[in-house]
A and B are shown apart, each in its own frame.
Chain A
């Protein structure tokens, strides 16, 4: 069938869309995760906690769909990546799922009973539901940069030769902490937009400041490790960008330092790491000067920059294999068929703008700061 876009273009678009989905998830549900992780520390009394929960209470559920859509889109557009990574990072995925199952329930059930123990239990559920996914996502990204220990056989069945503890290397832990710092900063910035002025917001600003500094330091350290830590892979055979999605038909080798190649070839890509640093710095200034716009704009920019840096550094790799580099999954060998990519693009072009439109409407309706005073008069806020 003749499609208006060729296979290579569609692969490139879907690589971009994968990034867009992950970034949208980090930008929206990211602050929900951050607020969850901050909850027990920035809010002490029951009313303070409920007020903090209400800053995300009505919208976290929609935000979380970016994550679920991310899973669905990887399945539909990058089935190899879905199959290899989710079964490979098996117990880590289970940890994330458990935390993400705990989170919705904690949001909904927390205020159903007045008991202090009951509420405190669910508040810690929200902490786990925020902190654990933030950490594990970062650890997973660290492992993707390192390369995962999997190989494909002739039937393209994937075998994974690592274990849960093996995922926690110094570099991947650094990536995990960076992810936590980035999302906690984003959560604190969200509170500076959405929470009323008072002790809660003051505490949030202090935690946000620490997170911003940590993000700057960890991002820089991560960059140095990527440059000098022996990371990187390179495709050594000629690449057929329109070829069949069969990883075994190209050759790949480990090439220390190769994750920096793209910045030499395409200097414009340096915008991404620059944005990562600049955004965190702006957020820091915003938190100091009590400017919600600077804080949230800065943390958003930093999140976009940091995630883009990972994607651009690895391009065209999506998931390299450390034990059998030939099995590595790239933009050119791991996608769905031409037709599926095209149909999914059509669906995205139709529905994504609609999603953005009604999401914006919902945020507009709910605009305004969350306060402890309103809790006494409006039954829906409890």
Chain B
């Protein structure tokens, strides 16, 4: 039997390291493209202020980027370390996007990022812009491949179980590549990164404007952030994750859970705006409903029903029963690889093998499971409804707020009212919000996938390595200390760099190319640039 303590600790460790990693990734995704925009303006206008703007946000980008890279190494290796059986079971499919990510994306960003920082005096402006663009392209392609990998866990297309190798093997690589869940996730995730970076640039610029420092610098940065942020916040909400929710039983379950929709409603289904879902009573108390909306979002039609949790559990029960038959046939194939009858039965029920494996949480041999146990296990396919319900509402609420924030910023910048103080205060206070929304978004996606590591294929608890509780605690404590210390250092360096401001280095290095010979020019540069 699997040691469930090891499974829980492995999940805790994955959650900690992944959520921590994703504190740095969104800013990298968005800020890299904002650097491209800023530097493009510099290359087109050749006005030194835009070089200063690019270099300053580049410094903050660098402080953040390096931790994204460092914590990304953990991500690449912990599948093998903590999820060894998962790695064996789906490595034939899941490993490919990770390897291609390295080959196609990670090399690109990592090779050029050094030149981006060290190459200012070695490259002509347009060549340096090209380098910056390659970094942005690399980081965003990296997200594409990771989300193809993650999308496959949510919707495992293009693969089948091979009883001879006891694992999933790829049957249609194009299906893995063009998985609709992955496509939707990619757009949603990178857009969220663009919003995150826009809020960061907007908030820091607002801070300068409130203090009356670096005004010309801050106004320009704010203008770029408001335009980029408005486009991105619209994209993140409109091109949300929703499109993939009708595809698989687990995706349907995730949708029903995040809406706390216990029973199928006649089409088009209503949306529960707010309420208190209870796992124990299997209903939502004090729900405030809006008719029609859910059906429209989930099915994009008015006549298709959205399935509720009770109905999905009934489906799961059928699939577990079929999965037990598949498991029985597989055991016969393992005993005699040449048994044609067993292979035939296995082919018929192969789709449900994963559901049969769910029973292994309670019995070593799923064939021994009683009908009551099967029913109990079917209910275990329901993820934590209140957690999903609230995560979704926090995420979506912040998303809506972001649109309002950037629409206001855009209008104010267009009207040249950059110095509207109530808005500047709001912008500074909004800095943490995108991170909160993004982390809750991941909780929604991954917590909502439970009990599966790969939907319908491999239960999470089977994926863990055969480790000991002591080993896991050692690494969890180790990672927490290391990551905690680095987080403190990172935030302090960021604040330090923001406090020093964009013109600090020109005062230190008088020979920097765009610094006038007058040593006090640094402080006056923004005013001169505005003129």
Q: Which residues of A contact B (CB under 8 A)?
A: 54, 57-62, 64-65, 68-69, 71-77, 79-80, 82-87, 90-91, 93-94, 97-98, 100-105, 107-109, 112-113, 154-160, 244-246, 336-337, 339-340, 343-344, 347-348, 351-352, 355, 358-359, 362, 365-366, 377-381
Q: Mark B89-128, 1 if CB is under 8 A from A, else 0.
A: 0011111101111111011101111110111111100000
Q: Is the CB of B95 within 8 A of A61?
A: no
- Judged by a CB distance under 8 angstroms, whether B509 is at the interface is yes
Q: B518 to chain A: which residues have CB within 8 Å?
A: none
Residues on the B chain within 8 Å of A83, using CB: 80, 84-85, 87-88, 91
Q: What are 6 of the A-B contact pairs (CB < 8 Å)?
A: A69-B99, A82-B91, A97-B74, A109-B63, A358-B108, A366-B118
| Contacting pair B91 A244 (CB below 8 A) | no
Spell out B's residues near A (CB within 8 Å): 62-63, 66-67, 69-74, 76-77, 79-82, 84-85, 87-88, 91-96, 98-104, 106-108, 110-115, 117-123, 134, 162, 164-167, 169-171, 173, 334, 465-467, 471, 474-475, 478, 482, 486, 489, 493, 496-497, 505, 508-509, 511-512
Q: Are B91 and A90 in contact (CB under 8 A)?
A: no
Contact B162 A379 (CB under 8 A): no
- CB-CB nearest in chain B for A356: B107
- Asked if residues B509 and A104 are in contact (CB atoms below 8 Å), the reply is no
Q: Please pick, from B72, B91, B466, the residue contacting A79 in the complex, using a CB distance under 8 A.
A: B91
Assess A365 versus B164: contact at CB under 8 Å? Given A105-B70, A348-B103. no
The reply to whether A90 and B103 contact each other, CB–CB distance below 8 Å, is no
B493-A112 in contact (CB<8A): yes
* Contact present for A377 and B104 (CB under 8 Å): no
Cα(A335)–Cα(B497), bound, Å: 48
* Bound complex: CA A112 to CA B99 (Å): 33
**What CA separation (Å) do A344 and B97 show in the bound complex?**
9
Assembly CA distance A107 to B119 (angstroms):
17
Is the beta-carbon distance between A75 and B99 smaller than 8 angstroms? yes
Contact B121 A158 (CB under 8 A): no
Q: Which 4 A-B pairs have the closest CB atoms?
A: A79-B91, A86-B80, A76-B95, A62-B111
Contact B123 A108 (CB under 8 A): no
Apart from A83-B87, A97-B73, A245-B165: 18 A-B pairs, beta carbons within 8 A: A68-B102, A69-B99, A69-B102, A76-B91, A79-B92, A82-B95, A94-B474, A102-B70, A105-B489, A112-B63, A246-B164, A339-B169, A344-B100, A351-B104, A355-B103, A358-B134, A365-B122, A366-B122
In the assembled complex, how far is the CB of residue B289 from the closest CB belonging to chain A, in whole angstroms? 46
Q: Do A101 and B70 contact each other (CB < 8 Å), given the known contacts A156-B166, A156-B167, A362-B115?
A: yes
Residues B73 and A244 in contact, CB atoms below 8 Å apart: no
Q: Is the CB of B467 within 8 A of A340?
A: no
Q: Please give, as numbers and ranges, the residues of chain B lying within 8 Å of A113 by CB-CB distance.
A: 496
Contacts of A102 in B (CB 8 A): 70, 482
Q: Cβ of A91 and Cβ of B471 under 8 Å apart?
A: yes
| Choice from B114, B173, B475 contacting A59 with Cβ under 8 Å | B114
Give Cα distance in the complex from A157 to B169, angstroms: 17
CB-CB under 8 A for A75 and B110, given A57-B118, A91-B471, A244-B164: no
Using CB atoms, name the residue of chain A closest to B509.
A379
A58 touches B115 (CB 8 A): yes
Interface residue from B81, B99, B134, B489 paired with A93 (Cβ < 8 Å): B81
Output the residue of B100, B110, B165 with the most chain A CB within 10 A: B165
The residues of A that contact B85 with a CB separation of less than 8 Å are 83, 155, 157-158
Min Cβ gap A108→B in Å is 4
Cross-chain contact of A358 among B79, B111, B173, B465 (Cβ < 8 A): B111
Q: Is the beta-carbon distance between B505 and A379 smaller than 8 angstroms?
A: yes
Q: CA–CA, A353 to B8, complex, Å?
A: 43
A75–B114 touching, CB < 8 Å: no
A57 to B118, CA, bound (A): 8
Q: Judging by beta carbons under 8 Å apart, are A340 and B93 in contact?
A: yes
Known A-B contacts A72-B76, A101-B70, A101-B482; A379 and B118 likewise in contact (beta carbons under 8 Å): no
Query: Do B117 and A58 touch across chains, with their CB atoms under 8 A apart?
Result: yes
* Residues of chain B with a CB closer than 8 A to A72's CB: 76, 95, 98-103
The residue from B77, B334, B493 contacting A86, defined by CB atoms under 8 A apart: B77
Which residues of chain A come closer than 8 Å to B166, judged between CB atoms? 155-156, 246
Contact B107 A86 (CB under 8 A): no
A104:B118 contact, CB within 8 angstroms: no
Say yes or no: B119 contacts A340, CB within 8 Å.
no
With A90-B81, A98-B482, A104-B66 as known contacts, state yes or no: A79 contacts B95, CB within 8 Å. yes
Q: What residues on B are CB-neighbors of A97 within 8 Å? A: 73-74, 77
Known A82-B80, A378-B509; judge A75-B91 contact (CB<8 A).
Answer: yes
Min CB gap B114→A, angstroms = 3
In whole Å, how far is A69's beta carbon from the nearest beta carbon of chain B? 4
Kindly report which residue of chain A lies nearest to residue B101, judged by CB atoms: A72
Contact of A339 among B98, B113, B170 (CB under 8 A): B170
Chain A residues within an 8 Å CB radius of B108: 358
Q: How far is the CA of A98 from the CA of B91 in the complex (A)?
A: 24
A69 touching B511 in the complex, CB below 8 Å, given contacts A62-B111, A98-B478, A362-B114: no
Q: Are B493 and A157 in touch, CB under 8 angstroms?
A: no
User: Closest CB-CB distance, B371 to chain A, in whole Å?
Assistant: 25
Asked if B165 contacts A158 (CB within 8 A), the reply is no
B98 touches A75 (CB 8 A): yes
Determine whether the beta carbon of A347 is less than 8 Å from that of B103.
yes
Query: Using Cβ atoms and an 8 Å threshold, which residues of chain A touch B94?
Result: 75
Given contacts A86-B80, A94-B81, contact A339 B173 (CB under 8 A): yes
Kindly list chain B residues whose C-beta atoms are within 8 Å of the C-beta of A348: 103
Which residue of A has the minimal Cβ distance to B171?
A339
Using Cβ atoms and an 8 Å threshold, which residues of chain B touch A246?
Answer: 164-166
Q: Evaluate contact between B465 and A87: CB separation under 8 angstroms.
A: yes
For A101, the chain B residues whose CB sits under 8 A away are 70-71, 73-74, 482, 486
**Contact partners of B106 in chain A: CB under 8 A:** 65, 68-69
Assess the B95–A91 pair: CB atoms within 8 A. Answer: no
Choose among A60, A94, A154 the residue with the greatest number of B CB atoms under 10 Å from its CB: A94
- Contact indicator A100/B73 (Cβ below 8 Å): yes
Contact A71 B62 (CB under 8 A): no
Residues on A with C-beta less than 8 A from B465 are 87, 90, 158
Q: For A150, give the chain B residue with the smallest CB separation.
A: B466
Beyond A82-B87, A83-B88, whether A351 also contacts B103 by CB under 8 A is yes
Q: Across the interface, do B102 and A65 meet the contact criterion of CB distance under 8 Å? A: yes
Contact (Cβ within 8 A) B110 A64: yes
Specify which of A100, A103, A108 is in contact with B62 (CB 8 Å cutoff). A108
- Contact between chains at A62 and B114 (CB < 8 Å): yes
Q: With A75-B94, A105-B66, A351-B104 in contact, is A58–B119 under 8 Å at CB?
A: yes
> Which residue of chain A is the closest to B486 with respect to CB atoms?
A105
Shortest distance from the beta carbon of A101 to any chain B beta carbon, whole Å? 4
**Using Cβ atoms and an 8 Å threshold, which residues of chain A touch B505?**
379
Q: Which residues of B contact A340 (CB under 8 A)?
A: 92-93, 95-96, 169-170, 173
Pair A75/B111 contact, Cβ less than 8 Å: no
